[in-house]
A = this chain, B = another copy of it.
Amino acid sequence: MKIGMIGLGRMGGNIARRLMRAGHEVVAFDRSADAVEALTRDGADAATSLEDMRVKLATPAIWWVMLPAGEATESTVFQIAEDAAEGEIIIDGGNSFWKDDVRRAIALREKGVAYVDVGTSGGVWGLERGYCMMIGGDDAVVRHLDPIFDTLAPGTGDIVRTPGRVAERADPRAEKGYIHAGPTGAGHFVKMVHNGIEYGLMQAYAEGFDILAKRASEHLVPEERFDINLTDVAEVWRRGSVISSWLLDLTAIALAEDEKLGRFSGHVADSGEGQWTIDAAMEEAVPVHVLSSALFARYRSRVDHTFGDKLLSAMRFGFGGHTEIPQ
């Protein structure tokens, strides 16, 4: 198929490359002429603007918007939609808030333009491993785009089949690495929850390794103090333990490089998806102690002290005359 790729960052560029390697045609656009140039060398047709891209695409055009969520994606989607002919398809492959998808799809439907949201996991490894995709949109449109998704997905590969998975009842696309999760918004919703879980998993490992690391502390009595080799622990847990995972593989790689992780400041960013996951849970009255704690740990990592910490000290001084002395 022929597809217009807007946004050639780490994700967009590699998605385009994986498509072209499989024989799809890509018309490419980015604010950065260098990024366009680089992709042209890999076989893409360069576009100098969205108007130029439309000329170069087939009719009706298929657009893949791969831009930062929020203003950039919003304005681009509506700019494309403004001149769009009936039957065109706009795919938002970024990390948009799923309610934005719902709103946009309704707005575009009036013009006969289809909107498809694709939550994409796989990061920098996707070009080689393939992308895990969660897709929302009208059934017919998603089916029409199947050649695209089939190319981008990892395929069944050598991952062991899930015992008990019955072909008739189960969507075969899931085993290839993509699903049609539901109507518009459902793709990004599932991807959002994926990221919410990701935060929780990461924080579980982080807390566990923290306990191991601080076991060497001199505050502990000698017979309860251990100087544990974290690199070897990460490695051994990859091998037959209940907590083996890809995130643990990444942990093992990072520790093997530097067990002190000295290049990292300890400030941890969060994209919006952790927050949206908590919002979704609250809408449903689902208790999410772990997912929220994981998000809050990141907030906390980015400040030296909270005002609340100081207030605790102020109260302690008030009732007990305690004066806090930094350790």
Contacts and interface: CB of A to CB of B under 8 A. Distances in A.
A144 interface: no
A32 interface: no
Interface stretch (A20-28, A61-69, A310-318): A310-318
Contacts of A208: 193-194, 196-197, 200, 277, 291
A233 B181 contact: yes
Nearest to A220: B283
Interface in A113-141: 121-126, 129-134
Nearest to A197: B208
A283 B10 CA distance: 27
Q: How many copies does the complex hold?
A: 4
**Main SS at interface, chain A:** helix
B213 A307 contact: yes
A143 to B, nearest CB: 16
Given A171-B229, A261-B311, A302-B327, A247 B239 contact: no
A185 B125 CA distance: 39
Contact of A175 (B206, B235, B248, B307): B235
Interface stretch (A47-55, A73-81, A82-90, A263-271): A263-271
Interface in A194-212: 194, 196-212
A235 B165 contact: yes
A277 to B, nearest CB: 7
The 10 closest A-B pairs by CB, nearest first: A266-B305, A200-B204, A245-B245, A206-B308, A250-B318, A254-B314, A287-B296, A177-B239, A289-B293, A197-B208
A187 B208 CA distance: 15
A157 B324 CA distance: 33
A35 interface: no
Contacts of A212: 190, 193
A213 to B, nearest CB: 4
B129 A310 contact: no
Interface in A216-260: 217, 219-220, 223-224, 226-229, 231-233, 235-257
A160 B267 CA distance: 30
Given A232-B174, A239-B153, A297 B289 contact: yes
Contacts of A239: 130, 132, 153-154, 156-157, 159, 174-177
B170 A313 contact: no
